[in-house]
Structure 1
Amino acid sequence: MEFVSRAVCPKLWAATDRLNRTKKTPAALRARRRRKGQILGLVNWIMALLLLPTAFLTPDSLLLSIAGGLCLGAGVVELWRYLPKTLGILSLLAGIFFLSAVLGDPDEMAILVYLAAQYLIVALASLLVRRRRDPFERAARKVLAGRDRADFAAGKADMQVIFSEETMTVNTSGNASAQFPYTDFKQVLETQDLLLVIFDKRFLILQKKDLTAGTVSDLRDFLKERVEHWVEIIDNGLLGS
């Protein structure tokens, strides 16, 4: 799909590739930010839980209302981002608690029904709204889940790949063998260390360092004559040929 999209929207993809080349935040720093966001979200949510009931039940408590509202807003934003299910469960419990307080003493606690409604709305939104997921992740999981069921490999069997003039032959340590004509090849993606061969609704990952005969350059030239789409992946960008 990306190949087709790149052919239709080359300028958009060129801009995307430039953005992807920018230096990414280290994983350790992202993990620390995530943990910090989770802690701040929980702290703000708990502060709101303590401040808002007092603000609702105490006359002339404008400052408490403002502080509680700000804490609730900050807590919901951080938890929605990092712990949406936790936010939903905590808000549901808080909403049920305040609603029970109202039912237990309607005369004194009636005002808390508005607070209960707020928490229940947040809970429903957190638990029912589904995050948008990358559709390619689902397809990748399906492919990886079935990687051991290929008819020419079993588990982690050692594999030998032989490129002849007409076909690619795959042999495994279990004495299984299969041949695939180059007419079945869709694309070959090349990175600095790997060749990803896509053929006949399958894919095969080859490490350049495992080449036992000839050179990578010779293999590249040989396959380019037989494969319609060859794509080099360099610095997060694609160079098609």
Structure 2
Amino acid sequence: MEFIFILTKYNDKSFKPQVSKALEKRTELVSRTEHPQMWKCVDKMNLKAKASEEVLKKRHSRYKLYGILLLILGFFLLIPSLMEPREMLIPLLVSTFTIGIGILNFRYARKSKKVKLTSFDKAAIKLFSEYEKIPMVTVTFTNDKVQLVGNVTIGYSEIEKIFITEDLFILIWNKRIAVLQKKDLSSYNVEEFISFITYKSHNLFEIVNISE
């Protein structure tokens, strides 16, 4: 039985985020093995942080609503005040103040859309630039070995982990990485390949599904 991947052009929109996620997950798994007690504390903190994030989300929504109401009220007072500013000086001041507070609430409710690149993102971007240069060759999984790009052959005992993402299979072996697109599998189907590598992984390497 042979599973053959005929490599085609890699999709950067799926490659970069999914490889980044796999690299981050691998680092976490290695760290969890080496520092289990530390991760118990981290997991507890993450639970609290998640709760805080939900509270913060509700707070943002609440401030946005306040902003809308204050702006409506402010403009409701502002329009007639502008018609007779001398006689309606106090409503004019109140409306200006109310609009200002409404704008501040809106600004507070806004979330930053700027995404900062992590070290894993940068590594994935660098790896993608290298994969763009890879010729359209084949990668073959047989019963006893894996034939990778550049006539590199490895045994299943050399594999550390295989990550399964939404669109990719990511092999970690001898501190190196190989990325294969599911759509490039030309023989058999994805489910059969997953069953095959799961069988081969027994007591040798770990299968990590991060597709969700």
TM-score interval, smaller chain: 0.3 to 0.5
Q: Which has the higher contact order (CA 8 A, sep 6+)?
A: 2
**Structure index of larger Rg:** 1
> Normalising by the residue count of structure 2, what TM-score does the alignment of the two structures yield?
0.46
